[in-house]
Chains A and B, each alone.
Chain A
Amino acid sequence: MVDKSVTELIFDKFEEFSSADDILKDVSKELSDAVRKEKKKKEEISAILKKSNEK
């Protein structure tokens, strides 16, 4: 069968980098999911990045 696409490889790497970064780790999973969506919405990604990091 056909291997992972280049796009998927890039998304995987992005998730790996963002989850290891202090400033992004709180929203990393949500951000990666939004980035992987077929029809990405700028507003959705923007809202995730704006989220308060207060627990």
Chain B
Amino acid sequence: MKIYELEIKNIRGIKSIKLTLDGKNAVVFGPNGTGKSAIVDAIDFLLSQKICRLTGKGTQSLSLKEHGCHVDSRENLKDTVVKANIEIDGKKVIIQRSINKPAELKVEPKEHTKLVESYLAVASLGQHILSRREILKYITAEEGERAKEIQLLLDLSEIENLRAMLVKIGNEAESELKIKDSSLRIAESDIVNLLSVAAFSEAICLEKVNELRKKLGGKEIFELQEEKIKEGLTPHLTDAKKEVLTKEQIENYINEAKNILKKEEEIVAKIDQLVLLMEEIKKEVKLKQFSVYKRLYETGLSLVTQENICPLCGRKWTEGDFRNYLDGKTKEIEIGKEKQDKITGLSSAVKTDIDLLRNDIDNLKNGLLQFGVSLKDEQVIKSKFEIFKQWSETMLSPFELFEAGKWPEIKIDELFDESFFTASFFDPLKEALAKSGDILSEKQKAWDTLTKMEDKWKAYKTGIKNKSQAVLYKKRADASLIYFEKARNLVLEGIYDAVKSNFDKYYKTIHSDDETKFASKISHEGPALKFEVDFYGRGMFPPHALHSEGHQDSMGLCLFFALNDYLTKNNIQTVVLDDVVMSIDANHRRDICKLLRDFFPGKQFIITTHDTAWAKQLKTEGVVAQKNMVHFVNWNVDTGPVFEFDKDLWDKIKESLEKDDVPAAAARLRREAEFFFENVCDFLYAKIPYKGTHQWELGEYASAAVSALKTIIERAIKNFRKAKQEDKAKELESFYEAAKGIIAKSNIEQWAVNAEVHYNKWANLTKKDFAPVVEAFKELFKLFECSKCHGLLIMERGVGDANTKTVVCNCRNISWNVGE
């Protein structure tokens, strides 16, 4: 998608403006405050229905409707329009948007609406505009913040929300497993207490059930099933109520409760150990994210080469064997898993003891009611049950509660008050049991126990089923999270690799003079996005740590382009660069031109700048054509920007001469010629006598440029002959002869010896005398340009070999070997 025509009415500082860009690069230049940014805002609004400048930090009080329009159009938003003729998928389409209805995009012909919308969905990511503010966002951001910004660009919020959901499901699954495990343990304990057996096992239970069945004249059964427990037995007397406890059950519950109470020290020690482990994990991120680090080290191990080269940064590891180092790290990180497993083990054990004790006390409470004994200290009992509940729930997800500062305030040892339970439960029940005596026959007791066993066995079997279901749920939840993170990391790593590779390539293009070995590292570590860059072979550092501001700006620019490549897939070809080279020096700006011109020939750059030299450089370097140089001269609130399409130098001089204004024409030629020859000297490595002031004049630039051109042509002719390319040598010889004539006409070589022809005298010449000077310079300029691409001649030097020199133009129609 490229913009061919852009019409803006009543947007920000613009009243009315129409620009014809023809889908080509353009530069909007002029002093600050002339309305250049309004062009950026208008394009932003048209493509994304918002104005980025009015959003984000410090803009809470700003709104599109109030501040997106021209200040005089607030009452008449219908007149606020951005309209563009665009080309999309080879189709010519007109799109239009008004601040009155920002969400409504008018598309003509209407049949292309969906096509346009699908392209503009990419623009909603904001990848069509880069401002200096955005550059800093990529470069100086903290790892977590940068991750957020990049994730926003990659539209990963859904992924991160889903991951958080899977983590939550995993935690719930672990809690559910603990609950089901505890329920099963209680069901087993109930059976142990009912049957008065030493420990739980299905075989022991079967043996005991058969013993009871024998007392009732029943046959032996070989499998414990709820319906088989009383199979074939004659119903005996009256069925005891299931909730009524037998004497043995009460005694067993008392014994079990006493045994757990005796474990006070052991349980308190487990809690202390738990707290210690959680404190360690809370402090150390690596321990908390052991699985992520484990994968990192294991992947490293699988990729590291025999030469000890790190697969991430590409550097050689000099401190021993790199594989051993990574192996050690992997083992180190295992500690994290061990600690987390320990937490799960300890909390499960404590929870089981608490739940069992609560179950025992709950049953004993029923026992007291059964004997009609009223409860002592009912309030205290209630509070004890509250503590049971609190600690039992805490043990479900101890680390989450500990980290959130929700650890129980009441210490667990308050539960282990044996004297209280003895006075309130054990002694009253023993007394009641002694008074009641053994009123039931052995057969009745056997029958009652088997009746209860039916119920307890059913609860036990349900417990097994529930636990196995919970185990499956936990395994699936864990696997889902692992695969989800694995999928996320794999896809993101692929993207980051592509982004990194393009970033390095672009950055090395801009800094081909001093950072040819530059490398970066973009990696995803848990929620953070690590971005580090090489600093002249001294190691990897954050991009804003050691590099200069200018280097940081070019890094931001390169990262933007690298991300833009991935995100827009070249669908949005229009890219607005809003004053992005402020801190980059002139030499590197030339490399930026090279980047824009050679790496992105299909894109349409709309560049704004207050720097006229940079705007002209964009033209000289062949990035922007003369007709797309938009010069914003002035601005006022009533008219908006006063602008002109920057005219050709020779047309401007012609205009002045037509007005008989020779001084103006002379001043313009001198100024432009000085800029022109300064660039030529720079591009051709022309030699200028050194000056401490670092200020040279047209005379110095022009004679150095001419001298350099002569040397270049002479060498090129010689080298063509050496290479037996006689036709090319002859062609260049005739060009050289013509050039000598043109140089002579310009009088440049006479400036030093004849004051009468010096450029200082130009302003005093008559129109008739000055016109040939203009013509001579027009011809002279052409000697330094390619007749095909109109780009300036540039000398390329071979890296590492100063003798390899080639003079080329942008289109490579000119390619002269000028090596010595």
Contacts and interface: CB of A to CB of B under 8 A. Distances in A.
A7 B487 CA distance: 10
B155 A18 contact: no
A2 B166 CA distance: 29
A9 B494 CA distance: 11
B476 A2 contact: no
26 contacts: A1-B118, A2-B118, A5-B155, A6-B495, A10-B487, A11-B487, A13-B486, A14-B483, A14-B484, A14-B487, A16-B487, A17-B487, A23-B479, A27-B476, A35-B162, A40-B161, A40-B165, A42-B165, A42-B169, A45-B166, A45-B480, A46-B169, A46-B172, A49-B476, A50-B469, A50-B472
Contacts of B487: 10-11, 13-14, 16-17
Given A2-B119, A2-B571, A49-B477, A17 B483 contact: yes
B136 interface: no
Interface string B480-512: 100110111011100100000000000000000
A23 B475 contact: yes
A10 B159 contact: yes
A27 B642 CA distance: 66
B476 A24 contact: yes
Contacts of B475: 23
Interface of A: 1-3, 5-7, 9-11, 13-14, 16-18, 21, 23-24, 27, 31, 35, 40, 42, 45-46, 49-50, 52-53
B479 A50 contact: no
Given A1-B118, A21-B479, A49-B169, A6 B154 contact: yes
B243 interface: no
Given A2-B118, A6-B154, A18 B159 contact: no
Nearest to A52: B469
Interface-centre pick from B162, B475, B477 (highest chain A CB count, 10 A): B162
Nearest to B157: A7
B186 interface: no
A7 to B, nearest CB: 5
Nearest to A8: B491
Contact of B473 (A1, A13, A14, A49): A49
B91 interface: no
Contacts of A21: 479, 483
A14 B486 CA distance: 8
A2 to B, nearest CB: 6
A45 to B, nearest CB: 6
Interface string B135-171: 0000000000000000000111011011001101100
A8 B173 CA distance: 27
B569 interface: yes
B155 A2 contact: no
Nearest to A46: B169
B122 interface: yes
Interface residues of B, number: 36
Contacts of B491: 6, 9-10, 13
A9 to B, nearest CB: 5
Contacts of B158: 7
Contacts of A23: 472, 475-476, 479
A13 B483 CA distance: 9
Contacts of A3: 569
A52 B646 CA distance: 75
A46 B158 CA distance: 18
Contacts of B62: none
Contacts of A17: 483, 486-487
Contacts of B168: 42
Contacts of A50: 469, 472-473
A6 B154 CA distance: 7
B121 interface: yes
B693 to A, nearest CB: 55
A45 B476 contact: no
Contacts of A14: 483-484, 487
A45 B473 contact: no
B542 to A, nearest CB: 25
A24 B479 contact: yes
B156 A49 contact: no
A4 to B, nearest CB: 10
B169 A45 contact: yes
A13 B495 CA distance: 14
B121 A6 contact: no
B666 to A, nearest CB: 55
A3 B477 CA distance: 31
Given A10-B488, A18-B480, A45-B165, 8 more contacts: A2-B569, A6-B154, A16-B487, A17-B487, A24-B479, A46-B172, A49-B473, A49-B476
A3 B421 CA distance: 70
Contact of A24 (B156, B159, B480): B480
B569 A53 contact: no
Nearest to A19: B483
A53 to B, nearest CB: 6
Contacts of B155: 5-7
A7 B156 contact: yes
A7 B122 CA distance: 14
Q: Kindly name the residue among B118, B168, B469, B480 whose own CB sees the greatest number of chain A CB atoms within 10 A.
A: B480
Contacts of A52: 469, 472
A10 B488 CA distance: 5
B469 to A, nearest CB: 7
Given A1-B118, A35-B162, A18 B483 contact: yes
A17 B483 CA distance: 6
Contacts of B473: 49-50
The 5 residue pairs across chains A and B that have the minimum distance between CB atoms: A13-B487, A17-B483, A14-B487, A49-B476, A9-B491
A31 B156 CA distance: 20
Nearest to A43: B169
Contact of A13 (B121, B162, B490): B490
B403 to A, nearest CB: 21
A52 to B, nearest CB: 7
A17 to B, nearest CB: 4
B484 to A, nearest CB: 5
- Which of B166, B475, B491, B571 has its CB near the most chain A CB atoms (within 10 A)? B491
Nearest to B488: A10
A36 to B, nearest CB: 10
A31 B480 contact: yes
From B156, B472, B476, B488, residue with most partner A Cβ within 10 Å:
B476
A38 B168 CA distance: 19
Contacts of A27: 476
A16 B490 CA distance: 12
Contact of B479 (A6, A11, A18, A35): A18
Nearest to A26: B476
A25 B469 CA distance: 16
Residue from B119, B472, B477, B483 having most chain A Cβ neighbours under 10 A: B483
A16 to B, nearest CB: 8
Among A1, A2, A10, A13, residue most surrounded by chain B Cβ atoms (within 10 Å): A10
Nearest to B482: A17
Contacts of A5: 155
A5 to B, nearest CB: 6
Interface string B460-481: 0000000001001101110110
Interface string B773-797: 0000000000000000000000000
Interface in B91-122: 118-119, 121-122
A39 to B, nearest CB: 10
A49 B165 contact: no
A13 B494 CA distance: 12
A24 B571 CA distance: 38
Nearest to A42: B165
A49 B173 contact: yes
